[in-house]
Amino acid sequence: MNTIQMPQSGVKKFFALALIMALASSLFVIAPQTSSAHGYVEGPASRAALCKSGQNQNCGSIVWEPQSLEAPKGFPAAGPVDGKIASANGAFPELDQQSATRWAKVNINSGPNAFTWKFTANHRTTNWKYYITKPNWNPNAPLTRNSFDLTPFCTDNYNGTQPPTTYTSNCNVPARTGYHVILAVWEIHDTVNAFYNVIDVNFSGSNPADTQPPTAPSALAASGTTTTSVSLSWNASTDNVGVSGYRIFQGANQIGTVSGSTLNYTVTGLTANTTYNFAVRAFDAAGNVSANSNSISVTTLAPSGPDTQAPTAPGGLHVMGAPTSSSIMLMWNPSTDNVGVTGYRIYQGSNLVTTVSGTATSYTVTGLNPSTTYSFSVYAFDAAGNQSAASTVSGTTAAASTAPAWAPNTAYAVGAKVTYNGAVYECRQAHTSIVSWEPATTPALWLLK
């Protein structure tokens, strides 16, 4: 178990720093952010997670939504600007306060560690990456790219598929002593954004590191196979300290996690008459992971008779990110079906806008009017023409922007706003524009608002 070390007093110093930070941040206009929410690191607990649990104080509104630290993807070339890395670009400015004593710390050891994300919407994922501050970083200065070793110590690729609602990366944390900050980045596959979480850690060196992984689970077997599900069971692993849990893999992807005392898992949402491979791995509290169990291949049953069963309604339908003045991005979780989901129909009010494929989980509705509320419905359908019940959500477009259109051969100062392809961008570095430096392709120069 990781323990939490509370911040030491240094109260005077902290308030002086807080005042300076408050004055500094009041110089900037913080744009209201309505981004929807999608996940955070719960173990070792992120700065925002410790705000939610109350171990960090005076955190601002992040206590209600530690899952909302969203900014453009592509760190370190793009992503949140220096000084606003911990707040994912400033929507939660308290998180950018930085001193050796401002934040509670989680004790960890170098070597194998498990990083567990909790997702409120488990979107298709490109990867998770983990960075750590340099050995000689300054814990009393704002976090910048220069604070971090910009080569991630861990990259966990996920190939654009959908993770389970709780997902663990197993990483080797480099050797450090004392207080450091780990930056965990979740890169969403089908949007322009990523989620940025900092974790305040203390390398105590007090516990000898556990580096011995559990034995591999054995005798993995399948039972109760249906057209869309299969039940897996296995024999327990052993470990020098204790088995914390098991991870279930379908092909290369982790599809679920169970506790160390659970020796079975039911896989659902499969497609009929299709072959899948499964394996299970055990892990311990230090994040050591066993070798794979035996792997098994299972073929789901073919449907008998005509298919009359409709897919489930798309779950978790939501508006993703901030709508522009003319577009709204919809996202949902995949429907399941006894045979397979062929596609989704997207309606604006009662009008069919489009049909997308059964593997799509997002669609951007365009051609909308500014400052207008729209109602959208999404239905899943299968190859036999069965259609699910509707999932419905409403969204409101942004006000029409008064910012001028972006143009080449123009001098832009930091903070200047322009419109480009219907979206508003803010200049992050003074420059004179040229053709090929359009805002959409130069994240180092322009921040999508």
Q: How far is the CB of 123 from Cu ion (least distance, A)?
A: 5
Q: Which is nearer to Cu ion, 104 or 185 (CB)?
A: 185
- The DSSP symbol for 196 reads E
- What lies within 8 Å, CB to CB, of 42 at 6+ separation is 49, 116, 117, 118
Strands 105-108 and 193-203: parallel
Q: How far is the CB of 394 from Cu ion (least distance, A)?
A: 16
Q: Which is nearer to Cu ion, 103 or 344 (CB)?
A: 344
Q: Which is nearer to Cu ion, 69 or 331 (CB)?
A: 331
3-state secondary structure of 287: coil
Q: How far is the CB of 328 from Cu ion (least distance, A)?
A: 12
Q: Which is nearer to Cu ion, 44 or 314 (CB)?
A: 314
- What lies within 8 Å, CB to CB, of 23 at 6+ separation is none
Q: Which is nearer to Cu ion, 87 or 191 (CB)?
A: 191
Q: For residue 26, give the H/E element and its range.
A: helix 11-26
Beta bridge partners of 148: 133
Count of other CB atoms within 10 angstroms of residue 42 = 18
Beta bridge partners of 356: 344
- Residue ranges of E strands in 109-173: 111-119, 125-133, 148-161, 166-173
Q: How far is the CB of 321 from Cu ion (least distance, A)?
A: 7
Contact 110, 286 (CB under 8 A): no
Q: How far is the CB of 38 from Cu ion (least distance, A)?
A: 6
Q: Is 296 exposed, middle or buried (CB count within 10 Å of its CB: 0-12, 13-18, 19+)?
A: middle
Q: How far is the CB of 162 from Cu ion (least distance, A)?
A: 12
Q: How far is the CB of 359 from Cu ion (least distance, A)?
A: 16
Q: Which is nearer to Cu ion, 102 or 123 (CB)?
A: 123
The amino acid at 104: A
Q: How far is the CB of 234 from Cu ion (least distance, A)?
A: 34
Q: How far is the CB of 399 from Cu ion (least distance, A)?
A: 22
Q: Which is nearer to Cu ion, 225 or 364 (CB)?
A: 364
Starting from the edge strand earliest in sequence, which strands make up the sheet with 362-365, in order? 315-320, 328-333, 362-365
Q: Which is nearer to Cu ion, 41 or 339 (CB)?
A: 41
How long, in residues, is the chain?
449
- What lies within 8 Å, CB to CB, of 392 at 6+ separation is 317, 375, 376, 377, 378
Q: Which is nearer to Cu ion, 162 or 293 (CB)?
A: 162
Give the Å distances, CA to CA, from 333 to 44, 274, 318, 385: 27, 21, 10, 20
Count of other CB atoms within 10 angstroms of residue 297 = 9
Q: Which is nearer to Cu ion, 121 or 243 (CB)?
A: 121
3-state secondary structure of 344: strand
Q: How far is the CB of 119 from Cu ion (least distance, A)?
A: 10
Contact 222, 231 (CB under 8 A): yes
Lookup result for tokens 């599809």: 255
3-state secondary structure of 90: coil
For Cu ion, the binding residues (CB under 5 A) are 121, 320, 331
